[in-house]
Amino acid sequence: MIQTKDGLVKMVQDYGFLPFLRNRVSGFSVEEHTDPRVWFVKGVEGPWEWKGPVIQKTKCAYGKFFAGKAGFITQEWFYAFANYRRDGYDFDARFEDGLLRRQEYQAMKILMESGSLLSREWRKKMGISKRGEFDAIVTRLQMMGYVITIDFEYAKNKAGQAYGVGVARYATPEMYFGEEFREQVYHDTPEASKQKIIEYLKGRFPAAAEKDILHVIR
């Protein structure tokens, strides 16, 4: 059971894919492996507070990748994941073929020009007042494999102690992972990447039905 930040780091590194919340595949979540004494207990740090440090320690991708729900994917596996979800399209080609909404296109252009942005900065640059509208755009871009969360930043008091809710910082995988990602992401066909992920997860969760695995990663 996960009881510490280091325990979560080890699990992310071991699993490669790790949704935050329980789903159709039994045992395939941070939630199911976390000691109840640190799972959203008032006044006690747990996985929710550890997200940023885990991202920094593992250099993994974090975002709403799993049926619109959040989770971790290691850099090693994110190449295949992004290729599968992008269906072989880079960002510009997807827009040219009419497979991106204009708001998504504008959001990506702003993020690519900025390098990385806190959620409030990105939303302001996009001119969107409604948080729900902004979140929906970002979720769609994360589900397509074009945007990841690279950290969570907190306000600090005079003593330098963090408090409040962490604010997500976003970037593209190309920016965060660098040249290696750009060289590897389209190395295989999207279908080959999809099958690679399915076979890996079937090996980790042999009791899971393939349709349930697909529901999580689709």
- Sheet bearing 162-171, strands edge to edge: 17-19, 69-73, 61-66, 148-156, 162-171, 116-118
Quote the tokens at residue 117.
Answer: 């942005």
- The answer to whether 56 and 119 have CB atoms below 8 angstroms apart is no
pTM for the whole thing? 0.92
What pLDDT tens digit does each residue of the chain (218 aa) get?
999 999 999 999 999 999 999 999 999 999 999 999 999 999 899 999 999 999 999 999 999 999 999 999 999 999 999 999 999 898 899 999 999 999 999 999 999 999 999 999 999 999 999 999 999 999 999 999 999 999 998 777 776 666 667 899 999 999 999 999 999 999 999 999 999 999 999 999 999 999 999 999 98
